[in-house]
Amino acid sequence: MKPKSARIRFKKGVIHSKDFALPARYNSPDPIQYGWFTWKLNPEFPADGKRIRLTCAVCSKIYVHSWPINTTTLKDHFDKNHLAIKCRIMREALESSTPNDETILGTSLVGQYDSSQSAPSIDNFFSQDTNKSGSSQQQMSRIANGPHFLAFDPGEHTRLVLMMIIANNLPFSLVDSETFKAHVLYLRDDAPSISRSTLRRKLTEIYEMKTLSMKEKFAANTSLFALTMDEWRSSNDFDFLGITLHFYNNLCQKENYTIGFEALNKHLFYTGKVLYDCLIKVLRDYGIENRIISITRDNAGPMNTMMDFYRCGRSISEIDFHGDIRCIGHILNLSTEDFLKFTYFKKSSSQEFKALIAKIEEEHPEFKDSAERMSSLPNAMRFIILKIRYNHEMKNGFLDLVEKKKKNESTSRGPEKIMGDNDTRWLSTYKMIDRFIYFRVEITNVLKYALRDGKVSDTDRGKFEITDNDWLYLKSVRDVLEEFRFPTLRLQATSYPTIHQTISLVYGTLCALDSPKLQEVCPLNPYFAMGLKAAKSKLLKYFPIYNEDITSNKMLYIAVVLEPRFKLAVFESNGFTETQIEAIKKAFVEVYEQYKKKYEDITDECTIVDDDATTVRAAKHVFGFGFAKRASRVDLETEIDKYFREPQEPEDQDAMAFYKSRKTIYPILYRSIKMMAILKSQGAVDIEVSTDDELEAEEEVEGDTYCSKVGVDDGLLLIDYSEFAEEDTDELELLAQAIAV
C-alpha cells in the first residue's frame, strides 16, 4: 500500500519569510498533488499573506491564497465547472486494479465515492461544456498542455470520434483505415482501437435514448400536434417520406421534431396505402395517433390517397382535426412549372399541354417564327453557359471582362460566374436567367470574339446569337419568376408559424401576376400570356380566394382572423366581397363555439396570468370566488365581439404574446390560437435554394434500398443501425449523408 504523505505545516508568519518555499508535489494538498491545479509563489510580500497563485489546469481560473490554501474552494470549482473530467478520472480509477485508497478515490477530493455518478446526460452528448471559457480550440489546447495524469478516457475518445464523423459526414469505415489508426497511435501509443461496430452501437444507443426522451416529452404535453409530410426523389433516384411534428409545449414554446424518415425504394411501387401505413406506424410508435390536429402535405396522387385512408381510418371531428392543408410551397412549385412549360424552360409531353400549344399556333399563325426562336432559346442559353464555363479560351475571356467590370464599378463584390440550372428546381432556372441578364455585356462580347476568331463551328453559330428581343423576353420571364421567388424565400426564412400568411401570399402573388408590367407583354406573346394564365389557374385551383365559397380553405381564413394584426379588417381593405367576409366570420364563430363547448370549464391555465390592468378584474381573489366566476362567463359571451372591437395590433406584435397576455379576456381564443398556430403551411421538406456549387454539380451517391429509422435534432442525423446487416451499413451511411446535407 502506498504510504500517505504527511501534510506540511508551517509556523504562523513563516510565509512572510524570504526563505519560504512551497512543499514538494508529493507532500502538497490533494488538488495540487493530483494535477487539478498548479501553484506558484508570488515573490512579493502582500500584507494579507496571499502569496500563493493557484491556476486551474483545465480552464486557467486563478485563485490567490495565503498559507494554508483553502482546498474546499478548489474542489468546489472543479465540481462546478469540470465535473465531466472528474467523473472520468474517478471512473478510470474505479476500473483499474489499483486499490481505491491509492487513487483519487481515497482522497478528500472525492469523499465517499458514489458509483452512480456519471458523465453528462445524453442530451449533452454532442454539446460543448458551456461553462468553459474561451474557444473550443483554446480549451483543447489547455487540456492538452495540462498534466498527463488527467486520465485518458476511452469512452470520451469514442464520443469525440463519433462527433467528428457525424459533424463532417464521414463514413464509419474511416476508423478501420490504417491512416486513421496511425494518427491515433501517434497521439497516444496505448489508445484502444475503435471499430465501426462500436460506433454504430453507440449511435444506436443515442438514437434509442433520444427517441425515448421524445416519447416522454410528447406524452407530458397537453396540446395537440400538427404534422407535415413530404415524399420526394433524390438525385440518385431514392424515394423518401419525411414526417415532422410541430406543437406548442405547456409553456407555449414552439417545438418541432423529425419523427419519421422512410426510404420507399423497398417497394416495387408505393401507393397511398403504403404512405398511410408508414404514417400510422410512426404515430403509434410515439403514442400520438389520436392527437393530430392537421396534416400539411403536397398534392401528389399517393398523398391524396393517403389522406383518404387517414380519414377512413379514424373518426375525425373538426375540433380535433382541422384537416389536411395543402403545402403552399408545393403549389407555388406547380404554378411556376406551368408557366415555365409555355416558355420552354421546362419540358412537357402531356396531351393537355400539346393541345394548348396547337390552339395558340392555330389562333396566332403570325407568331410562328417568334415561337420557334422562343422554343430554342433555353437550349441556346444552356449551350452558351456550358461553353463559357468549360471552354478554356472563352472562360478566361469572360473572367477578364468580369474583372474589368468590377474595376469600372469600383467594387469587389457581385457574382463572378454564370450558372446552369437544375431541371427539378425552378429557383435554379430563375438564378440562371437572372445571372445571364446580369452578364449581358460580357456574354455578348465573349460570343462576338468567338465568332470573329472562328472558334465556333457552323452548326453552333446559330446558338451564339442572342438578339435584343431575346434579352427583352428573358427579362419578362425573369420578372414573372421573381414574383414567385419572394413568397418562396419568405416561407423559407421564417422559423415561426406561417399559416396565417398563406392567403396573404397567394393574394399578393396573384396581384403581382396581374401587374401592368407583366400584362403588357401578353398581347405581344401569346405563349407568355398562356403561361401566366396557367400559373394563376394553378394557384386558384388549390386556393380559390376569389370564390364566395370558402369551405376548401376555411382553416386558412380562420388563421388570418385569429392573427391580431389582421382580423377581418385585412379582408375588407383588400377587396374581398361582403359575402366572403360574412362567410369567413361565420366560420370563425363556428370554430369558436366548438372550442367553447369543449372547454366549458376554463379554470386552469386561463386564469394563471399576471395581474395587470387588463386582467386583474377576472382573477378569482379580487371580489370572491362566485363573483369572479360570473364575470368570466360574461367575458366568454362577448369574447368575439370584444376581439373584433379592439384595433389591429402593430406589425411587430407577436400573436402568441398577444393572447398569452390576455388569457382571461380571450380564454377560448387563446386555446384556439395554440392549436391554429401549429398548423403548417409548408411541407416537411422545404424547397431548396441551391448554392452555386450545388447547381454546378449534383453529387451522385450510390447505394441500395433501405428503410431507416432516423431522428434529427439540432442538425444531427441519428440512424438506428440495428435493423441492418453489417455489409449494408456503409452504403446506408453514404445515403444518410446525402440526405443530411
Write the DSSP string, 527-542.
HHHHHHHHHHHHHHHH
- Domain membership of residue 376 (yes or no) is yes
C-alpha cell, 167: 459533424
Is the distance from CB of 729 to CB of 172 less than 8 angstroms? yes
Nearest CA among 37, 84, 58 for reference residue 140: 58
Q: Which of 66, 99, 121 marks a domain boundary?
A: 121
Q: Do 262 and 346 share a domain, yes or no?
A: no
Cα 535 to chain center, whole Å? 29
Encode pLDDT of 315-341 as tens digits: 544 445 555 577 788 888 889 999 999
User: What are residue 293's phi and psi, to 5 degrees?
Assistant: -95, -25
Residues near 703 by beta carbon (within 8 Å), at least 6 away in sequence:
236, 238, 731, 732, 734, 735
Q: Do 363 and 502 share a domain, yes or no?
A: yes
| Predicted local distance difference test score (pLDDT) of residue 102 | 77
Nearest CA among 517, 507, 512 for reference residue 539: 507
Q: Is 109 exposed, middle or buried, given 0-12, 13-18 or 19+ CB atoms closer than 10 A?
A: buried
Q: Do 301 and 372 share a domain, yes or no?
A: no
- Domain membership of residue 136 (yes or no) is no
Q: In whole angstroms, give the CA distance from residue 449 to residue 675.
A: 63
Whole-angstrom CA distances from 550 to 77, 367, 506, 569, 738 are: 64, 41, 14, 17, 42
Q: In whole angstroms, give the CA distance from residue 650 to residue 136.
A: 42
Q: Which of 676, 699, 719 marks a domain boundary?
A: 676
Q: How far apart are the first and last CA of the chain?
A: 56
Range of the domain at 347: 332-542
Question: Is residue 712 helix, strand or coil?
Answer: strand
Q: Do 174 and 289 share a domain, yes or no?
A: no
Phi-psi category of 153—alpha, beta or left, where left has phi over 0 and alpha has psi -120 to 50? beta
Residues near 409 by beta carbon (within 8 Å), at least 6 away in sequence:
none
| Predicted local distance difference test score (pLDDT) of residue 678 | 56
Greatest alpha-carbon pair distance for the chain in Å reads: 113
C-alpha cell, 621: 381573489
- Domain membership of residue 619 (yes or no) is yes
Q: Do 504 and 561 share a domain, yes or no?
A: no
Q: Do 256 and 405 share a domain, yes or no?
A: no
Q: In whole angstroms, give the CA distance from residue 259 to residue 279.
A: 10
Q: Do 353 and 415 share a domain, yes or no?
A: yes
C-alpha cell, 181: 489508426
Stretch (H or E) spanning 29: none
Q: Do 672 and 702 share a domain, yes or no?
A: no
Q: Return the CA Rg of the chain.
A: 34
- Domain membership of residue 522 (yes or no) is yes
Residues of the chain with pLDDT under 50: 1-6, 112-120, 122, 128-150, 316-319, 602-636, 683-741
Stretch (H or E) spanning 259: strand 254-263
- Domain membership of residue 561 (yes or no) is yes
Q: Which of 194, 216, 249 marks a domain boundary?
A: 194
Q: Do 108 and 18 share a domain, yes or no?
A: yes
Q: Do 562 and 629 share a domain, yes or no?
A: yes
Q: Do 657 and 608 share a domain, yes or no?
A: yes
Q: Spell out the SS3 assignment of 201-224.
A: HHHHHHHHHHHHHHHHHHHHCCCC
Q: In whole angstroms, give the CA distance from residue 629 to residue 623.
A: 10
- Domain membership of residue 171 (yes or no) is yes
Q: Do 323 and 337 share a domain, yes or no?
A: no
C-alpha cell, 93: 480509477
| Predicted local distance difference test score (pLDDT) of residue 677 | 55
Say how many domains are in the chain.
Answer: 5
- Domain membership of residue 59 (yes or no) is yes
| pTM for the whole structure | 0.58
Is the distance from CB of 559 to CB of 500 less than 8 angstroms? yes
- Domain membership of residue 72 (yes or no) is yes
Q: In whole angstroms, give the CA distance from residue 111 to residue 90.
A: 11
